[in-house]
Chains A and B, each alone.
Chain A
Amino acid sequence: MIPEPAERVAARTFPVAELRRRLAARPEADWLRNLRGSALASVEAKGLPTRRDEAWKYTDVGALGVAAYGAAEAPVGTPPAIKSLTETLQLVLVNGFLVTPGPEVLPAGVSISRLDASISAELVQARLGGVLSPEGKPFVALNTASFAEGVVVRIAAGTDVETPIELISLGLPGGEPVAFHPRCLVVVEAGATATLIERHCGKGRYFSNGVVEVALADHATLRHYTLQDEAADAVHVGTLGIALGKESRYEGVVVHVGARLARHEVHAGIDGDRASFSLDGAYLGSAQQHIDNTTWVTHRAVGGNSRQVFKGVLDEQAKGIFQGKVLVERDAQKTDAHQLSKALLLSDRAEMDGKPELEIYADDVKCGHGCTVGDIDEKALFYLRARGIDEETARALLIEAFLAEVMEQIAVGPVREAFAAVVGQRLGGAHLIRRTDDHW
């Protein structure tokens, strides 16, 4: 193998000494200091992944120079007001710092606090890094070593929380580009049900490297809707880990419309029998956007169900990636696992890469996967135009129709409508995406 030029390697290595200095200055509990220390050691040893790493074959985060971005400082002044999508329990992180810690009065059974708050210390110590270990995940390691303030959400056993919890991460660099690392731990206890909305937006040049860990106890349910609407120059890496207990349900939808480069990486473990996991994704890319959805779903228990549908629309020189791996372990009999990736390419220069993969060691399973790439149906386009609908509107209608299967998975009406409105807004122009950075 040809060695990489020295300056390339340097660009991929984070300023570890600086990180170490910051950590030493932080008054933190020993257990957290240890967790961060070992994460930092792994960052130091490995740096950022390169395309030689199988999991990063299509996406080169380091090439965009984010390693040189300075660490974000705590924001000063009043936090910007952000319109909620619907009635929610809203939390706002600016550059990874929690500026709006949520409403003072929370519904019974819901607790929301900073990761370092004393009331959640025991829970956090027991769970943080438990769903997503930094091992082999360079960006999780970097987040673990670097996160400023995080959020822990706990839904007590048997609670059914109707009001969605809305976690907003805003990137607002002052002048120079910054890097920040939002961190969130969600624990849904036995038989509880909740909805989590995650929104990422901002302005300017920044690197957001978020980690969300979700622990679902037996019979718990989480609906999780993510809108990645980062600024046009932003680099977004989000890693999501989900541990599913017996007969628990995870219903996730992720919609990407923003960022220069986005990588959404999901690790789901079907650990309890008859758990059900569904993850749907929709993404729009134009200009030179690069949107990567990478998922690992591991079935370890009997009778699990997993479904993934990703649909992307790529215009101009945008590039889409779908890498999905479903692993069915030997004991995971009666597993039903499906994944599907479909992309519409609107320009000759747009590109779609990647692969769905199945690795099955159990013999009594139903599994399937598929991957298609196509363009707009010309017959349908003509039919619409022949009814007086102009070409742009007709295209937008067909694209929305293509994405509808994913959007319909958002079970909460106002959230579905709000996400669809953002998508619709981006479809309104001569090109796929009309930039409207100010809509939050």
Chain B
Amino acid sequence: MPMATNNEAPLLEIRNLRAKVEGREILKGIDLTIPAGEVHAVMGPNGSGKSTLSYVLAGRDGYEITDGTVLYRGRDLLALKPEERACDGIFLAFQYPVEIPGVTGFNFLKTAVNSVRRHRGESELDAMQFLKLVRKKAADLGVGEEMLKRAVNSGFSGGEKKRYEALQMALLEPRLMILDETDSGLDIDALKVVAEGVTRMRSPERGMLVITHYQRILDYILPDRVHVLAHGQIAQSGGPELAHELERTGYAQYAGQAA
């Protein structure tokens, strides 16, 4: 069953989120709100906690939440299991997608799609229906048939893995899309194809958190807001122009903050 939601509430509301990994505090009081329909970019130096934030939102084990709240459509997100979050519409495109030898892509994608459909009260797709769907979406994103036959991410190039993340996102039709450096590793043409795919998914109900180091992807997916994450906190927020500014100035101005 889809969870009861508050339609007035923002899609995502993070308040004073603090999290530790292996006893070390990485997120040091994050505040970030994404209203439905908006795209927010998060930039920031290596090691500043961007992926940690994305994992905490997706529900990975090993993070100790020491303070703060995360509300997704008005409900406590942190109380849910990763699969419940995914079924409720949260999708994390991994910075480093995981290779799973032995699990065929077709089986994996079909199991995932049907899990989410079941949760939404929709009928499951049979093998033929699924094949039709996956072929269409794969063609849109330039994912070859041959890649679908292989084991999940096994032996994929860096760029292929990112395209495969985009394909999964297109298939699962999430509501909150978290893209952790989906642009890294994609060549110029692939970046355009993937970014266009992501842009097609923009809608008044959906929101996006786009983590990136580069302005280029933001030229395709125009963000409503840009945030700088440094030392585990949002150090600055602004409009799309902030990304251009960072391109010029780098992160030197944030050095040493909130240590």
Binding site for B on A (CB under 8 A): 377-380, 382-391, 393-394, 397-398, 400-402, 404-405
- Which of A378, A390, A397 is B103 in contact with, Cβ under 8 Å? A397
Bound: A384/B111 CA distance, A: 9
From residue 89 to 113 of chain B, which have CB atoms closer than 8 A to chain A? 91-92, 94, 97-103, 107-108, 111-112
Instruction: Bin chain B's interface residue count.
Output: 20 to 34
B61 contacts A by Cβ under 8 Å: yes
**B97 and A389 form a contact (CB under 8 A):** no
Contacts of A380 on B, CB cut-off 8 Å? 98-100
Bound: A402/B87 CA distance, A: 26
- Which of A391, A400, A405 is B83 in contact with, Cβ under 8 Å? A391
**A401 and B102 form a contact (CB under 8 A):** yes
- Which of B61, B86, B102, B107 is A388 in contact with, Cβ under 8 Å? B86
Contacts of B103 on A, CB cut-off 8 Å? 384, 397-398, 400-401
Q: How far is the CB of A398 from chain B (nearest CB, A)?
A: 7
Interface centre among A397, A400, A404, A405 (most CB of B within 10 A): A397
Bound: A400/B61 CA distance, A: 23
B81 contacts A by Cβ under 8 Å: yes
The 16 listed contacts between A and B (C-beta, < 8 Å) are A382-B61, A382-B82, A383-B97, A383-B152, A384-B103, A386-B82, A387-B112, A388-B112, A390-B115, A397-B103, A397-B108, A398-B102, A400-B102, A401-B100, A401-B101, A401-B102
Bound: A400/B103 CA distance, A: 8
**B61 and A384 form a contact (CB under 8 A):** no
B147 contacts A by Cβ under 8 Å: no
| Main SS at interface, chain A | helix
Contacts of B168 on A, CB cut-off 8 Å? 387
On whether A383 and B86 interact (CB within 8 A), knowing A389-B112, A393-B111, A397-B107, the answer reads no
B58 contacts A by Cβ under 8 Å: yes
15 new A-B contacts, CB < 8 A, other than A383-B94, A401-B101, are A378-B61, A379-B98, A382-B61, A383-B152, A384-B112, A385-B83, A386-B83, A387-B168, A387-B172, A388-B86, A388-B112, A389-B112, A390-B83, A391-B81, A401-B103
Interface centre among A390, A393, A398, A400 (most CB of B within 10 A): A390
B59 contacts A by Cβ under 8 Å: yes
Q: Which partner residue on chain B sits nearest A403 by CB separation?
A: B102
On whether A385 and B102 interact (CB within 8 A), knowing A390-B115, A397-B111, the answer reads no
Interface centre among B85, B100, B102, B168 (most CB of A within 10 A): B102
Contacts of B58 on A, CB cut-off 8 Å? 386
**B87 and A388 form a contact (CB under 8 A):** yes
B60 contacts A by Cβ under 8 Å: yes
- Which of B59, B102, B108 is A404 in contact with, Cβ under 8 Å? B102
Bound: A397/B102 CA distance, A: 9
Contacts of B107 on A, CB cut-off 8 Å? 397
Contacts of B97 on A, CB cut-off 8 Å? 383
**B82 and A385 form a contact (CB under 8 A):** yes
Bound: A386/B86 CA distance, A: 6
Contacts of A401 on B, CB cut-off 8 Å? 100-103, 151
Q: Which partner residue on chain B sits nearest A401 by CB separation?
A: B102
Bound: A404/B98 CA distance, A: 18
Q: How far is the CB of A341 from chain B (nearest CB, A)?
A: 17
Q: Which partner residue on chain A sits nearest B86 by CB separation?
A: A388
Contacts of B60 on A, CB cut-off 8 Å? 382, 386
Bound: A397/B85 CA distance, A: 20
Q: How far is the CB of B25 from chain A (nearest CB, A)?
A: 22
**A384 and B108 form a contact (CB under 8 A):** yes
Q: Which partner residue on chain B sits nearest A393 by CB separation?
A: B111
B202 contacts A by Cβ under 8 Å: no
On whether A398 and B100 interact (CB within 8 A), knowing A389-B115, A393-B111, the answer reads yes
B150 contacts A by Cβ under 8 Å: no
B119 contacts A by Cβ under 8 Å: yes
Give me the 7 closest cross-chain CB pairs, A-B, nearest first: A401-B102, A388-B86, A387-B112, A385-B82, A383-B98, A388-B115, A388-B116
Contacts of B101 on A, CB cut-off 8 Å? 401
Bound: A390/B151 CA distance, A: 19
Contacts of A385 on B, CB cut-off 8 Å? 59, 81-83, 86
Bound: A382/B60 CA distance, A: 6
Contacts of B81 on A, CB cut-off 8 Å? 385, 391
Contacts of B87 on A, CB cut-off 8 Å? 388
Bound: A385/B119 CA distance, A: 14
**B112 and A402 form a contact (CB under 8 A):** no
Q: How far is the CB of B34 from chain A (nearest CB, A)?
A: 19
From residue 52 to 101 of chain B, which have CB atoms closer than 8 A to chain A? 58-61, 81-83, 85-87, 91-92, 94, 97-101
Q: Which partner residue on chain A sits nearest B112 by CB separation?
A: A387
Bound: A377/B151 CA distance, A: 15
Q: Which partner residue on chain B sits nearest A383 by CB separation?
A: B98
**A387 and B102 form a contact (CB under 8 A):** no
Bound: A392/B59 CA distance, A: 16
**B111 and A386 form a contact (CB under 8 A):** no
Contacts of A377 on B, CB cut-off 8 Å? 98, 100
Contacts of A383 on B, CB cut-off 8 Å? 94, 97-98, 100, 152
Q: How far is the CB of B78 from chain A (nearest CB, A)?
A: 15
From residue 108 to 136 of chain B, which have CB atoms closer than 8 A to chain A? 108, 111-112, 115-116, 119
Contacts of A402 on B, CB cut-off 8 Å? 102
Bound: A380/B59 CA distance, A: 14
Bound: A386/B151 CA distance, A: 17
Bound: A385/B151 CA distance, A: 17
Contacts of A384 on B, CB cut-off 8 Å? 100, 103, 108, 112
